Every structure is written in C-alpha cells, then in structure tokens.
C-alpha cells in the first residue's frame, strides 16, 4: 500500500547512505516524520509520541521503531519487510520511569550499531532534549553528530511522481481559494469562512481527495493583516476589510501552498498600489527562475521592483516546499533570500510568498512553482491580483 515503488524508496535510502558516508556516519536515527515518510512510506498521526527509523550502512532496509499500537500502520504503509518493524510496549508512553528512546537505544545495540558514529536530527520538531539525553545514556560507546537536514536536502529534487502529487494538490488549493472568495462576505464570521475553506481543502476535487495540510488556514482580516501567521477568530467581516488568505492543497502529505488577498468593498488607493507593486515583483522574480539561477537571484529581482516603488521586505521571499507534517509545509533547505547561493535545478519546487505586512494593513500574493528545463512552471492558475468582493472586479484592474 505504499505510494511509490520499492525501487524509488530504495533509491532514496541509497542516496541517504551516500550522504552518511560523506559525513562520516555509520548510523542515522531519523525522527522528523516527513523524513520517516520519505524513506519508508510510513504515514500516521503518531508523531506526538517518539518514533524513529534507523538507517545503517550495514543494513539493507531501515528499521521502523514506534508505538506498538501504530505498528500495524507501519505494516500497511511501509515498503520494508516484517522483520524491520520494531514496536515498543505502551508502558514506554508518557512514563516517568522509562522513555521510548530507551527502546530505540536497545534496538541499536541489538543490531551491533552502538560503537560507531551516529547522526541524529538535533533540530527536528519532534526530537526533544530528553530524547537525545536518553540516546546518549543508552549508547555510551557511540559518538553522536548533528544530521538535522541530511535527508531534507535529498528531498529537495522531486521525482516525477512527487511532482504529480504536488500538481494534484495545486488543483485542490485552486478550488479552495475559489471557495474562500465565495464565502468571505460582510457579516460572515472568520471561523465560518475557515470551516468552509477547510472543507474544500479536505474534500478536494472529483478526481482526488485532499489530505490535512500541515498548516491551518491563515486568514486574518482588518488590522490583523498587518502581521503574518494569524489564523481565524470569531470576528465578523466588515465593509472595507482586507483579508489575507494563505492555504494549501495537500495530497498524500505533498503540499501546494497559495496566498491571495481580498478586500470587502472598495479598496483604498494604497492597497491598490501595493497589490500592483507586489504582483509586478512576483512576476519579475518568476521571470529569472531557470536551472542555474541562484536562489538569491530570484529574491533580488523581487527587491529591485519593490524598492523602485519605495517598499521594503526584510523577510525571505520563499522556500522549498513539498512533503511535510504539522507544523510546517516548508522543507527547511533552500530559501529565496539574499546570500543563499543554492543553484536551482529541475524538479525543485518552491513557495514564493510575497507577503507585505505594513502598519495596520497588509497583502499577500504567492505562487508555488517548479523549476523546469525551460525555466519555470507555476502550478496554479489563480489570477495574480487583489480580489475585490462585493464590488466590481474592475476596481483593482
């Protein structure tokens, strides 16, 4: 029941082992749920308790270690053989006398992997300080090294099948954004709009159902649009409100984010101007995307446009995106910002988000794009503009 072929998973594991050798690692303990999924296919809402996979240069398959009640989920979603599933008993869960990483250490010792150099994802969301302490305590003869992004960098270039899933997610987010524009009206509560948007994200299209996105709909309105990353409250929309909408389609954990802004009623002159500048800047940034361009080149093209009009954006313009779990759909590798000299290559996928958060108001326009041999492929078809609700669309043309 895996999503990808066994060959693809084996290629991913082999690429991981090659990087391990380059970094002098004998064993890798992976705890990031996205990286676990990438290497094994495992997919379950079980990351609230410690779980891991163990990749060793001397083992042909990764070992899955997780809670016993989740082991059938591993059998259903992983490509490896039955002997690689290593469940721990429930008395390890949220216990003050033992810890799941005690069991991980036991598995490592059982395979004779405890005398080499072991990489761990020190900055992964679900790898706690106590987890590391327990590993060090349980593996006194091992030497530990930080391998936080080792697998993430392998994930950066997508396979064609991964791209196909992201494109399915693009169709879902396009539909969900249309739902947002339909439901946001004067008198509607933000929470009710969020409920309809979430329904559209999960319902998907007639051809493909949606997965739960790694981030909830971020839909602040009014003065709350002057900042990023606010979700919804039970406030009712009022005439004149600007609403920022940042959402994603998700299929089998692969994301396609999309952001647009809308105004209820007549937009202010400064909002119209800002939307035009942002749209022009996004277009300029996308125009420089091609294999061989640098990540910082994309951001520089954007900055050139907005600075010409007297605007400034200190935060990055975008980031690599794809497979992930809450709390983030980004992959934590390449950023579209000054100083990032990463070279763009075909089948890299990015979320370019031009968010402008100003004093008391803001605006967002984003595009998820794929680097292709010919240049750039924008994955959604939503108009790149400020949407005007309850007023003629010509107001923002």
Q: Which of 137, 155, 173 is the last residue of a domain?
A: 155
Do 29 and 139 have their domain in common? yes
Domain membership flag for residue 320: yes
pLDDT at residue 393, as a whole number: 44
What is d(CA 287, CA 319) in angstroms, rounded to the nearest whole number? Answer: 17
Same domain (yes/no): 210, 128: no
**Residue 385 DSSP symbol:** S
Verify that 275 and 378 share a domain, yes or no.
yes
Same domain as 251, residue 377: yes
116 and 170: one domain?
no
Domain residues for 120? 6-155
In a shared domain, residues 182 and 83:
no
Q: Where are the alpha helices (DSSP H) in the chain?
A: 6-22, 33-40, 71-77, 100-110, 129-138, 150-155, 160-183, 190-203, 269-287, 295-308
d(Cα 393, Cα 175) in Å, to the nearest integer?
Answer: 19
**135 located within any domain:** yes
Q: What is the pLDDT of residue 50?
A: 97
> Do both 173 and 139 map to the same domain?
no
Same domain, 261 and 125: no
Query: Do 24 and 148 share a domain, yes or no?
Result: yes
> Residue 45 is part of a domain; what is its CATH number?
3.40.350.10
Task: Tell me how many domains the chain contains.
Answer: 2
1 inside domain:
no
Question: Residue 128: inside a domain, yes or no?
Answer: yes
| pTM (global) more than 0.85 | yes
CATH assignment of the domain containing 213: 3.90.230.10
Same structural domain for residues 149 and 181?
no
**How buried is residue 314: exposed, middle or buried, by Cβ count under 10 Å (0-12/13-18/19+)?**
exposed
CA separation for the pair 246, 148 (Å, rounded): 27
**Are residue 285 and residue 139 in the same domain, yes or no?**
no
User: Which of 246, 244, 201, 200 has the alpha carbon at shortest distance from 222?
Assistant: 244
pLDDT at 391: 59
> Which stretches in the chain have pLDDT values below 50?
392-397
Burial code of 98-124, b = ≥16 C-beta within 10 A, e = fewer?
A: ebbbbbbbebbeeeebbebbbbbbeeb
Q: How far apart are CA 51 and CA 104, in angstroms?
A: 9
State which of 155, 186, 203 marks the end of a domain: 155
Peptide bond into 93 cis (omega under 30): no
């Amino acid at each position: 029941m895996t999503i990808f072929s066994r060959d693809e998973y084996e290629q991913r594991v082999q690429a991981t082992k090659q990087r391990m050798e380059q970094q002098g690692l004998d064993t890798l303990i992976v705890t990031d749920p996205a990286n676990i999924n990438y290497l094994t296919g495992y997919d379950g809402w079980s990351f609230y308790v410690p779980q891991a996979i163990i990749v060793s240069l001397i083992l042909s398959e990764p070992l899955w270690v997780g809670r016993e009640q989740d082991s059938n989920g591993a059998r259903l979603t992983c490509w490896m053989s039955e002997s690689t599933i290593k469940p721990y008993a429930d008395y390890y869960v949220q216990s003050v006398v033992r810890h799941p990483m005690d069991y991980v250490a036991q598995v490592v010792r059982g395979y004779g992997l405890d005398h080499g150099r072991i990489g761990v994802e020190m900055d992964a969301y679900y790898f706690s300080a106590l987890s590391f302490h327990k590993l060090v305590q349980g593996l006194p003869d091992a030497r530990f090294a930080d391998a936080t992004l080792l697998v993430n960098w392998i994930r950066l270039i997508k396979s064609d099948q991964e791209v196909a899933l992201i494109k399915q997610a693009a169709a879902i987010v396009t539909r969900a954004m249309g739902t947002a524009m339909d439901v946001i009206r004067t008198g509607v509560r933000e929470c009710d709009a969020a409920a309809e948007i979430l329904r559209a994200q999960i319902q998907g299209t007639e051809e493909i159902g949606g997965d739960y996105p790694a981030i909830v709909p971020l839909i602040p309105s009014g003065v709350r649009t002057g900042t990023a990353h606010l979700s919804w409250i039970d406030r009712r929309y009022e005439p004149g409100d600007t609403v920022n909408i940042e959402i994603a389609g998700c299929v089998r954990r692969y994301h396609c984010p999309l952001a647009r802004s809308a105004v209820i009623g007549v937009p202010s002159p400064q909002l119209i101007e800002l939307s035009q500048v942002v749209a022009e800047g996004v277009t300029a940034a996308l125009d420089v995307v091609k294999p061989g361009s640098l990540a910082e080149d994309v951001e520089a093209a954007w900055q050139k446009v907005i600075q010409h009009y007297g605007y400034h954006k200190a935060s990055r313009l975008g980031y690599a995106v794809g497979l992930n779990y809450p709390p983030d759909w980004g992959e934590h590798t390449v950023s579209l910002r000054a100083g990032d000299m990463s070279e763009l290559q075909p089948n890299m996928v990015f979320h370019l988000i031009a968010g402008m958060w100003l004093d008391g108001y803001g605006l967002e326009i984003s595009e998820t794009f794929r680097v292709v041999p010919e240049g750039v492929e924008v994955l959604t078809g939503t108009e790149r503009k400020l949407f005007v609700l309850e007023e003629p669309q010509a107001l923002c043309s």
